[in-house]
Amino acid sequence: QVQLVESGGGLVQAGGSLRLSCAASRRTFTFYSMAWFRQAPGKEREFVAAISGSDSSTLYRDGVKGRFTISRDNGENTVYLQMNSLKPEDTAVYLCAAAIGRATIFAMNYNNWGQGTQVTVSS
């Protein structure tokens, strides 16, 4: 198991930027693929972005491509989500997830989850 702690959420105006961080507890961080999901009130949890541990290959949902960037610092056991050109529809709790193996877009493949950080984008 790996403990995950997210930070960096907040309130921002539309068009603004935020950078989320997720710190992982395990020294074997490089073995884990990392992902960000989000969940808005009354909606299903949805995939945002993921990055593999082996080669740092990335996956994005269509609605964030070109605006969000996922990256990782294996020396710091941390994954980041840089969010630019934020829109009100990006408002949600953003959750960090980890899993052994290659990154996927499916929440069921991730067995380690953080508590989440709130992102609110005002219009």
Cα–Cα distance, 122 to 105 (Å, whole number): 27
Cα–Cα distance, 89 to 121 (Å, whole number): 8
CB atoms within 10 A of CB 84: 14
Write down the pLDDT at residue 35.
98
**Could you say which residues of the chain have pLDDT below 70?**
none
Write down the pLDDT at residue 43.
96
Write down the pLDDT at residue 54.
81
